Chains A and B, each alone.
Chain A
Amino acid sequence: MNSIYVHIPFCESKCYYCGFASFAGKDNEQKKYFAYLKEEINKCKFGQSISSIFIGGGTPSLVDVQYIEDVLFLIKKHFKIEKNAEITIEANPNSIDENKLLAYKKIGINRLSIGVQSLDNRQLKKIGRLHNKQQVLKALKLAKKVGFKNINCDLLLGLEKSSFFKIKKMIKLVKKYVSHFSCYMLQVEDGTLLQTMVENKQITLPNDDKVVEIYSKVIKFLSKLGFKQYEISNFAKDGYFCKHNLNYWSRGNYLGFGLGAHSFVNETRWANGNSFGDYYSGKKSLEEKLTKNQIVEEIIMLGLRCDLGIKEKELKKLNFNLEDNKNFKVFVDKKILHYQNGIIKIDPKYYGVSNLIIEDLIN
């Protein structure tokens, strides 16, 4: 499978925990940025058909719909897009309205990913989000009204005063609108405002054990509601698994356009520059041809992240045999790993410590 990712690095304000390539107060850069973005797409040669497009950010819903339309139009003209391709746009509850949603629908966007994070207004304020509970519910209602069926809701676990009770209440409120949840555990990234706040004790985050406890309960609760966990952080109703994400984990090709965007084609990974200057000048922030070992590592690491599991024959093609690893047997015996019909999966109970397991399998 092949995918396209488009990065829109503009935001109204920077969330305190955000460590991604996004910028607030750079709106006057938009015109120039989209010109370069289109040029980048135009220059790209890729003949295979595309199954998913993801317009992410930053806040894609912040910029004028016309920009999005132009880019999408160009992509459709320039590449072979499959008829039933999944086309997602990321949106913030406070930057969408009915007209925007109608426009998205019209230009062929069929999936919305909404950055809800929390419905606790104090929690939202504490991490620098600009929206509130009311806006979230309004946005979801509108999306449904306009006719979006495939809607994802991003939730953050491990915010200040996080509790399962709070999250359960939130899920109950939004579940009738959405088909997909992404539940991420809050990470304190280097160089973020959140990191400074934690250091200065301006915010007290729950410890790992507490977060994992909430996470485990969330998994059970979502499963009861019919949302299947198909990856560490992702849950969806049948038929609504995110194709785009699955392509990342199954190591399909993807082309990334825009500032900081990552691409992966034929076992080579590269990424655009992380500043406007670097991006415009064509400077890459990453370029690597994967070695055999790295490929093995990735197959294991990504396969165990999700319900797809590892296909044993893919490793065997690389002359890597998991059964030679003594830890593998222990993990299978202890039912940490499930090994059936040439597919190796991690027991969902151990998603939280997958790194420990992956490491033991690679060594």
Chain B
Amino acid sequence: MNRQDKIRNFCIVAHIDHGKSTLADRLIEATGTLAKRDMQNQLLDSMELEREKGITIKLTPTRMIYNFEGTDYELNLIDTPGHVDFTYEVSRSLAACEGAILIVDASQGVEAQTLANAYLAIDNNLEILPVINKIDLPSARPMEVKKEIEDVVGIPAMHAPCISAKDGTNIDQVLEMIIKEFPAPKGDENGKLKCLIFDSYYDNFKGAICLIRVFDGKVKVGDKIKMMQTEKIFDVVEVGIFVPNPKTTEILQAGDVGYIACSIKTIQDVSVGDTITSAFDPIDKPLPGYKKVQPVVFCGIFPVDGSKYQELKDALEKLKLNDASLQYEPEVSQALGFGFRCGFLGLLHLEIISERIEREFNLDIITTAPGVYYLVHKTNGEILKLSNPSSLPSAVEIDYIEEPYVKANIFAPPEYVGAIMELCQDKRGVYQGLTYLEEKRVRVDYHLPLGEIIYDFFDSLKSRTKGYASFDYEMAGFERSDLVRVDILLNGEKCDALSIIVHKDKAYSRGRALTEKLKRIIPRQLFEVPIQAAIGNKIIARETISAMRKDVLAKCYGGDITRKRKLLEKQKEGKKRMRKIGSVEIPSEAFMSILKLDDGEG
């Protein structure tokens, strides 16, 4: 048996909550990769945030050794992110594997992402091993779910192991099937070096670390390598594997999964999805599938404390290293000062990045309302590409505006079709078709403006379908729309960070909803504060925050001055998260509030 015959590279894909991370933990435990006492639940979700949200964002590969019929096999598990925002990241991980475990919840059955992920794996020519999880639950119906997999996904599933990752039931069966079902890598060890970067992260001591899958050839310390997209050349300083913590090795060869460190200081030099080859003896063509990732959702990020601009810049730079999809450029706002306009793959991605900035870099930030990219055709023939509402030219200069549309597929039981269609119409959607996937499951297709679905679409969909619906979408180009900018004036002063671009028909209701919302969020001040929404010079909505008349008047009884001072200090703490726009104090969450307008309001 040659070396590569004893290697299996695989990943696990699943719908959210179907137990991907739990199964990964059990595999690590069952192969003795980590002693039980070192296990932390859901080990692979190494970021605190991931564990909290129960989702995987960063990919963490793990090498496990499993003895099967007298032979030690090397199993490389490459984890995949589990959210629609991260489709590209998933595709890169898949490209590094030969097989994919498809976990399906024994009571939930096939869900939207089960399908989407399974199709992604099939498109990447992976062998798929279905696994039925959570058979310990009383509502488990493994036989029906197996049939559902065969009917809906269209792959054989009768042999699928029925497991409980939680209890550790039948984990050995999964390990055996991995070895039996998944093909071994078939790279050319003596060929020219060909590796895929499927992820990267930044190490303070070693610089940028590339997580790679070697397809052909070998790489060791001292080699000169070349990144094919950036055409940069580096000396390899360290190679290693993950067990699951990084461990140095002498060499990585065809079929292996591991990492290389080259003291790469310029983080832009590592592009995830890129191909690494030898600098002296390069291959002709890079691996297929590399995409420069295009963000679809944009917002401004500003430090609450204006003097922390440089720190925010450093934080974004560091985050970008792990995250090829994060984009940012400097932005200046009259209201918020210096910051960045950032692009994301979706709202979850935005939320994750902003939370990571706050937690990992200990920076308080203000995020402005998310928006999309518009194509503005000016009367002079110029075409502007912009995402920041405040850069929109005046109405007389605009010929017309195009906004991005998506092709949305919504999966739900048939009884909710009415509610879904109502929601989509309301969001300016154009009906495309309805497909019965099976008796109890339909797919509704809509052509929808992206700008509409980034606002509370998913939440509304969930609430209107009692949580039964799921959806995914892909970009479907730009289309002409009747859009206007709604500005917000506080105390008569325009606050650029609160401007939004909306469809003309919705401008009034949005403006009204926005002023009402801001009235609730902005605390009363020493003076009366009018809040107005305007299109150009025309006021379309107005609310007034009446002046504050009483604050905490703690009685200094028996000379307890300390208590009074503590109350004052507490109040001062709260103020740290406020921004002063003109003479008005605004809590930083106000800038995001536009996003959370109730469906009925917008």
Mark A residues whose CB is within 8 Å of B: 5, 7, 20, 56, 184-185, 187, 208-209, 211-212, 215, 232-233, 248-249, 254, 256, 260-264, 269, 271, 286, 288, 294, 297-298, 301-302, 305, 330, 336, 350, 352-359, 362-363
Residues 13-31 of B, flagged 1 when their CB comes within 8 A of A and 0 if not, give 0000000000000000000
Closest to A362 in B: B572
B557 CB within 8 Å of chain A: yes
Are B549 and A359 neighbours in the complex by a CB distance under 8 Å? no
B residues in contact with A355, CB < 8 Å = 551-553, 567-568, 571
Known: A185-B550, A352-B553; 19 extra A-B contacts, CB below 8 A, are A5-B559, A187-B554, A208-B550, A209-B549, A211-B550, A212-B550, A232-B553, A262-B560, A262-B562, A263-B559, A269-B561, A271-B560, A271-B562, A297-B565, A297-B568, A297-B569, A350-B526, A355-B552, A362-B568
Q: CA A305 – CA B556 in complex, angstroms?
A: 11
Are A212 and B558 neighbours in the complex by a CB distance under 8 Å? no
Q: A302-B561, A358-B568 are in contact. Are A353 and B555 (CB under 8 A)?
A: no
Q: CA A262 – CA B552 in complex, angstroms?
A: 21
B residues in contact with A262, CB < 8 Å = 558-562
B residues in contact with A302, CB < 8 Å = 561
Are B548 and A356 neighbours in the complex by a CB distance under 8 Å? yes
Q: A20-B557, A185-B553 are in contact. Are A359 and B571 (CB under 8 A)?
A: yes
A290 → B minimal CB distance (Å): 9
A residues in contact with B552, CB < 8 Å = 187, 355
Are B558 and A56 neighbours in the complex by a CB distance under 8 Å? yes
B residues in contact with A56, CB < 8 Å = 557-558
Segment 543-585 of B: residues with Cβ below 8 Å from A: 546, 548-562, 564-565, 567-569, 571-572, 575, 583
What are 9 A-B pairs at a CB distance below 8 A? A5-B559, A7-B558, A208-B550, A232-B553, A262-B560, A297-B565, A301-B568, A302-B561, A356-B551
Q: A262-B561, A363-B572, A363-B575 are in contact. Are A233 and B555 (CB under 8 A)?
A: yes
Q: CA A7 – CA B559 in complex, angstroms?
A: 11
Closest to A301 in B: B568
Which residue of B554, B557, B560, B575 is within 8 Å of A359 (Cβ)? Answer: B575
Interface residues on B, range: 20 to 34
Interface centre among A7, A248, A263, A357 (most CB of B within 10 A): A248
A residues in contact with B553, CB < 8 Å = 184-185, 187, 232-233, 352, 354-355
B residues in contact with A263, CB < 8 Å = 559
B residues in contact with A248, CB < 8 Å = 556, 559, 561
Which residue of A5, A208, A294 is within 8 Å of B558 (Cβ)? Answer: A5
Mark B residues whose CB is within 8 Å of A: 525-526, 546, 548-562, 564-565, 567-569, 571-572, 575, 583
Q: CA A358 – CA B551 in complex, angstroms?
A: 11
Are A294 and B571 neighbours in the complex by a CB distance under 8 Å? no
Q: CA A323 – CA B189 in complex, angstroms?
A: 76
A residues in contact with B556, CB < 8 Å = 248-249, 305
A residues in contact with B555, CB < 8 Å = 184, 187, 233
Q: CA A356 – CA B523 in complex, angstroms?
A: 11
Q: Lowest 10 CB-CB distances: which A-B pairs, in order?
A: A212-B549, A355-B551, A262-B559, A212-B550, A208-B550, A352-B550, A262-B560, A248-B559, A353-B548, A353-B551
Q: CA A356 – CA B584 in complex, angstroms?
A: 13
Closest to B583 in A: A330
Closest to B552 in A: A355
B residues in contact with A271, CB < 8 Å = 560, 562
A306 → B minimal CB distance (Å): 10
Q: CA A352 – CA B550 in complex, angstroms?
A: 5
Q: A352-B550, A353-B549, A357-B526 are in contact. Are A264 and B561 (CB under 8 A)?
A: yes
Closest to A208 in B: B550
B493 → A minimal CB distance (Å): 15
A64 → B minimal CB distance (Å): 22
Q: A297-B568, A359-B568, A359-B571 are in contact. Are A352 and B561 (CB under 8 A)?
A: no
Closest to B547 in A: A353
Are A256 and B565 neighbours in the complex by a CB distance under 8 Å? no
B residues in contact with A358, CB < 8 Å = 568
A54 → B minimal CB distance (Å): 8
Closest to B560 in A: A262
